[in-house]
């Protein structure tokens, strides 16, 4: 046993590893990929296991790597494909990795914090610059008329005018607020101040970037004039509540001009500092970009090793493990352990001790890259028990072929084939890429399946003569009335007699004759052909699947199952559906174009078979196919019905009888071995 057609022969063994060599040995076994360890600490909490500290360290390193990778992708930098598969580093190298990751993480976070502060400062300076420029423009246009405009705007609010402090000096606030909040801001100001303030809103023409999220910000400048300290306080609270920013703008034009010049100078200096900070950040990310994929693989392997070590029993200075492995991989496992011992410098060799157990071994198939996709399809429906026949190798043919029977277009099949072939030819470069798209990963994992489905679709499409839903006259139509040219010379309008075949003596070389494209009953004939082909292939597929079970019965020496399961299943399928396939072929052979008008209907005939109805009229669609058909069909129907109770009843009865006999035998042994229950008198000593 042990091939692609049957699961590998497995063996359970106990492995004794020295504590200092356990990490290196497990690392080598992991690279080999032929061992399945059992968890000997199932009752121990995950947080109380031996190597939980190391696992937490790995998780912390993974967190830092995820942050670094996010920052790399945020800058639009492409992470290079790592074609190499680095081995897990030694435990002492774990400290070096932690120091390296901590250095990159700390430096990157400091740079990001400084950048955010600089960008926030730059944003405020840019807003102040826009505010100063707009304020200069506004005061230059309306500076002398602001008081009169304010009195005119609040005219009609007698209570507000009486309550206003006429002797107070005119003050104003200038700032910025989000464009979406402007309507609410104006309404709240009027409500709080009883319309005693003069408000002007100007949209800032340029957009800003949020220093944290990088989103675009659209802002407006507000200019609020008021009189009195009470209104000043109210306006300030409204601005703060609406998350507006108030900027200190001088009262005189000269001071505003000097301030604007100073702001522009500070902006230029700040942009220089920002550019230098960004260059430093890009250098840090560029260094991490080259190693991020290798670092991630190393940390994942370290974490996997320590998770595996947590499944072992600890006994003094050694670790005890139990594992399953294929028998044919025993030498490879021994060599891997020797390599691990040499790497760790251990002088005491590891011990492998076979174990005898009644536990059912795991199912393992050693599949190549071509079969593995089909194996996943089979495993998604269920994994075969240990030692059973593996249906995946047969699925390599049946799955794409049955798909092609339903698909059946050579043109679209060619596109599928080329797409699958492209992924096969580029599998090394595509396989090394980390695809975040689940659909892309699914397509790549099934590249051989797609290629085979396309190849078989080309084949069935040529049989159906269907290329992009069109027929091709590749070999020349073989349908040609013998006297067509002669008759056309006499009369242009002729009618063909359906009593004759009108063929040229030979059939179309491959597939369906393209002349069917011009027939009125094209769809009826082609759909009937495709349906019957699908039935024939489907029944053959089912019979083949049932036939595979006999090899399992022979392998496990369950000969009784051959008689109570395999034969009844075969009879049931054969007598009902196999008989239908025979009738399809019989009708194709016995009824040609001339006699097709008297051909019985398969559908009606098959239904009547279960209703035990028969008609002897030769030209009736419900007529019988052949003499003695009634007796044959009744016999087949009887065999199919009798196989049902055999399938449902006989096997459970056999199991019950076998179990009762086994229990009776155990009781006999128990009674014969117990002297107190024996009828013999034991002599006293």
- 447-464 and 410-425 helices, crossing angle to 10°: 160
| Nearest residue to 484 (alpha-carbon basis) of 506, 502, 499, 508 | 502
Specify whether 426 is located in the same domain as 373: yes
Specify whether 161 is located in the same domain as 236: yes
| 75: phi then psi, degrees, rounded to nearest 5 | -85, 0
Specify whether 139 is located in the same domain as 252: yes
What pLDDT is stored for residue 159 in this prediction? 46
| Model pLDDT for residues 122-163, shown as the tens digit of each residue | 888 888 888 888 888 877 766 555 555 555 555 554 444 444
Confirm whether 554 is domain-assigned.
yes
- What is the residue-averaged pLDDT of the chain? 84
Specify whether 318 is located in the same domain as 411: no
| Model pLDDT for residues 499-521, shown as the tens digit of each residue | 555 555 577 788 888 888 777 87
For the beta carbon of residue 266, count every other beta carbon within 10 angstroms: 15
pTM, rounded to two decimals:
0.74
- Alpha carbons 164 and 155: distance in angstroms, whole number: 12
For residue 605, the enclosing domain spans 542-675
Q: Which of 430, 464, 498 is the last residue of a domain?
A: 464
Buried b (16+ CB within 10 A) or exposed e, 277-316: beeebeebbeebbebbbebbbbbebbbbbbbbbbbbebee
What pLDDT is stored for residue 150 in this prediction? 53
**490: three-class secondary structure by DSSP:** helix
Share above pLDDT 70 across residues of the chain, in percent, rounded to a whole number = 85
What pLDDT is stored for residue 326 in this prediction? 92
What pLDDT is stored for residue 581 in this prediction? 93
Specify whether 612 is located in the same domain as 670: yes
Q: Which of 329, 360, 391 is the last residue of a domain?
A: 360
Query: What is the CATH classification number for the domain harbouring 29?
Result: 3.30.70.260
Does residue 367 contact residue 375 with C-beta atoms inside 8 Å? yes
Query: What is the CATH classification number for the domain harbouring 230?
Result: 3.30.70.120
- Alpha carbons 79 and 608: distance in angstroms, whole number: 68
Contacts of residue 465, defined as CB under 8 A and 6 or more positions apart, other chains included, come to 471, 472, 511, 512, 513, 514, 516
| Nearest residue to 439 (alpha-carbon basis) of 454, 424, 455, 450 | 450
Specify whether 334 is located in the same domain as 395: no
| Model pLDDT for residues 542-561, shown as the tens digit of each residue | 999 999 999 999 988 888 99
| Model pLDDT for residues 576-627, shown as the tens digit of each residue | 999 999 999 988 888 876 666 677 888 888 888 888 877 655 555 556 787 8
Residue 678 has pLDDT above 50, yes or no: no
Kindly write down the DSSP assignment for every residue of 534-574, as one continuous string: HHHHHHHHHHHHHHHHHHHHHHTT-HHHIIIIIHHHHHHHI
Specify whether 668 is located in the same domain as 549: yes
Which among 97-101, 244-248, 463-467 has the top mean pLDDT? 97-101
Low-confidence winner among 319-328, 485-494, 538-547, 632-641 (lowest mean pLDDT):
485-494
Which contiguous run of DSSP H or E holds residue 685? none
Q: Which of 464, 499, 526 is the last residue of a domain?
A: 464
What pLDDT is stored for residue 663 in this prediction? 81
What pLDDT is stored for residue 82 in this prediction? 65
Low-confidence winner among 112-116, 326-330, 499-503 (lowest mean pLDDT):
499-503
What pLDDT is stored for residue 104 in this prediction? 93
Confirm whether 567 is domain-assigned.
yes
Specify whether 424 is located in the same domain as 347: no
Confirm whether 60 is domain-assigned.
no
HEC sequence for 35-72: CEECCCCCCCCHHHCCCHHHHHHHHHHHHHHHHHHHHH
DSSP H helices, 227-320, are 229-241, 253-309
Confirm whether 247 is domain-assigned.
yes
- Alpha carbons 213 and 376: distance in angstroms, whole number: 42
Contacts of residue 70, defined as CB under 8 A and 6 or more positions apart, other chains included, come to none
Confirm whether 474 is domain-assigned.
no
Confirm whether 613 is domain-assigned.
yes
Specify whether 432 is located in the same domain as 354: no
Specify whether 339 is located in the same domain as 371: no
**79: three-class secondary structure by DSSP:** coil
- Alpha carbons 356 and 324: distance in angstroms, whole number: 12
556-572 average pLDDT score: 91
Confirm whether 321 is domain-assigned.
yes
| Model pLDDT for residues 181-208, shown as the tens digit of each residue | 889 988 988 888 888 888 888 888 888 8
Specify whether 549 is located in the same domain as 665: yes
| Model pLDDT for residues 640-654, shown as the tens digit of each residue | 999 999 999 988 888
| Model pLDDT for residues 34-70, shown as the tens digit of each residue | 999 999 998 888 888 989 999 999 999 999 999 999 9
DSSP 677: T
Q: 65: buried, middle or exposed (CB in 10 Å: 19+, 13-18, 0-12)?
A: buried
Specify whether 137 is located in the same domain as 224: yes
Confirm whether 118 is domain-assigned.
no
| Model pLDDT for residues 417-443, shown as the tens digit of each residue | 999 999 999 888 887 676 667 788 888
- How many structural domains comprise the chain? 4
| Nearest residue to 391 (alpha-carbon basis) of 401, 382, 400, 403 | 382
Which among 131-140, 468-477, 495-504, 558-567 has the top mean pLDDT? 558-567
Low-confidence winner among 89-98, 395-404, 473-482, 506-515 (lowest mean pLDDT):
473-482
Low-confidence winner among 98-107, 247-256, 631-640 (lowest mean pLDDT):
247-256
Find the length of the chain.
Answer: 685
What pLDDT is stored for residue 347 in this prediction? 82
What pLDDT is stored for residue 675 in this prediction? 47
- Alpha carbons 576 and 583: distance in angstroms, whole number: 11
| Nearest residue to 539 (alpha-carbon basis) of 586, 576, 486 | 576
């Amino acid at each position: 046993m042990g091939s692609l057609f049957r699961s590998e022969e497995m063996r359970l063994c106990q492995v004794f590893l020295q504590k200092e060599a356990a990490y290196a040995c497990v690392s080598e076994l992991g690279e080999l990929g032929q061992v399945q360890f059992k968890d000997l600490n199932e009752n121990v909490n995950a947080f109380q296991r031996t190597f939980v500290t190391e696992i937490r360290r790995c998780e912390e390193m993974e967190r830092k790597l995820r942050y670094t990778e996010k920052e790399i992708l945020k800058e639009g930098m492409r992470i290079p494909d790592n074609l190499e598969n680095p081995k897990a580093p030694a435990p002492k190298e774990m400290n070096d990795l932690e120091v390296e990751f901590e250095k990159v993480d700390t430096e990157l976070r400091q740079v990001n914090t400084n950048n955010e502060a600089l960008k926030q400062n730059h944003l405020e300076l840019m807003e102040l610059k826009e505010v100063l420029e707009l304020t200069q423009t506004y005061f230059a246009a309306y500076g002398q008329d602001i008081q009169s405009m304010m009195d005119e705007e609040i005219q009609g609010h007698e209570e507000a005018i009486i309550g206003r402090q006429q002797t107070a000096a005119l003050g104003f606030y200038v700032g910025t607020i989000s464009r979406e909040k402007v309507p609410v801001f104006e309404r709240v100001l009027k409500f709080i101040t009883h319309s005693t303030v003069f408000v002007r809103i100007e949209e800032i023409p340029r957009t800003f970037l949020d220093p944290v999220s990088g989103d675009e910000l659209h802002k407006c400048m507000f200019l609020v004039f008021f009189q009195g300290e009470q209104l000043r306080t109210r306006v300030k609270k409204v601005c703060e509540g609406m998350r507006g920013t108030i900027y200190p703008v001088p009262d005189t034009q000269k001071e505003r001009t000097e301030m604007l010049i100073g702001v522009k100078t500070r902006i230029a200096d700040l942009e220089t500092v920002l550019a230098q900070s960004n260059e430093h950040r890009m250098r840090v990310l560029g260094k991490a970009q080259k190693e991020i994929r290798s670092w991630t693989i190393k940390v994942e392997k370290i974490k996997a090793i320590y998770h595996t070590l947590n499944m072992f029993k600890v006994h003094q200075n050694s670790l005890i493990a139990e594992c399953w492995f294929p028998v044919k991989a025993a030498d490879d496992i021994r060599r891997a352990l020797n390599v691990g011992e040499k790497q760790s410098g251990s002088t005491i060799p590891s011990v492998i001790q076979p174990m005898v157990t009644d536990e059912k071994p795991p199912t393992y198939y050693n599949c190549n890259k071509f079969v593995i996709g089909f194996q996943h399809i089979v495993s998604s429906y269920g994994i075969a028990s240990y030692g059973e026949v593996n249906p995946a190798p047969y699925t390599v043919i049946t799955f794409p072929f049955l798909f092609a029977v339903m698909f059946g277009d050579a043109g679209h099949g060619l596109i599928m084939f080329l797409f699958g072939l492209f992924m096969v030819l580029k599998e090394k470069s595509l396989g090394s890429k980390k695809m975040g798209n689940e659909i892309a990963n699914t397509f790549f994992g099934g590249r051989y399946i797609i290629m085979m489905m396309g190849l078989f679709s080309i084949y069935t499409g040529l049989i159906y003569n269907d290329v992009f839903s069109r027929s091709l006259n590749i070999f020349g139509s073989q349908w040609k009335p013998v006297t067509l040219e002669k008759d056309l010379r006499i009369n242009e309008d002729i009618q063909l007699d359906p009593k004759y075949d009108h063929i040229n003596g030979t059939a179309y070389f491959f597939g369906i004759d393209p002349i069917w494209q011009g027939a009125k009953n094209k769809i009826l004939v082609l759909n009937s052909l495709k349906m019957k082909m699908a039935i024939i292939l489907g029944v053959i597929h089912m019979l083949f699947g049932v036939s595979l079970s006999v090899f399992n019965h022979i392998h496990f020496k369950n000969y009784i199952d051959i008689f109570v399961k395999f034969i009844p299943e075969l009879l049931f399928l054969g007598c009902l559906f196999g008989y239908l396939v025979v009738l399809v072929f019989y009708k194709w052979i016995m009824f040609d174009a001339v006699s097709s008008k008297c051909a019985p209907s398969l559908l009606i005939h098959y239904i009547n078979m279960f209703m035990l109805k028969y008609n002897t009229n030769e030209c009736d669609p419900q007529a019988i196919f052949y003499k003695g058909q009634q007796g044959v069909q009744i016999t087949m129907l009887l065999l199919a019905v009798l196989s049902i109770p055999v399938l449902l009843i006989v096997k459970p009865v056999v199991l019950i009888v076998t179990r009762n006999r086994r229990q009776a035998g155990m009781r006999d042994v128990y009674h014969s071995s117990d002297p107190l229950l024996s009828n013999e008198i034991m002599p006293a000593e």
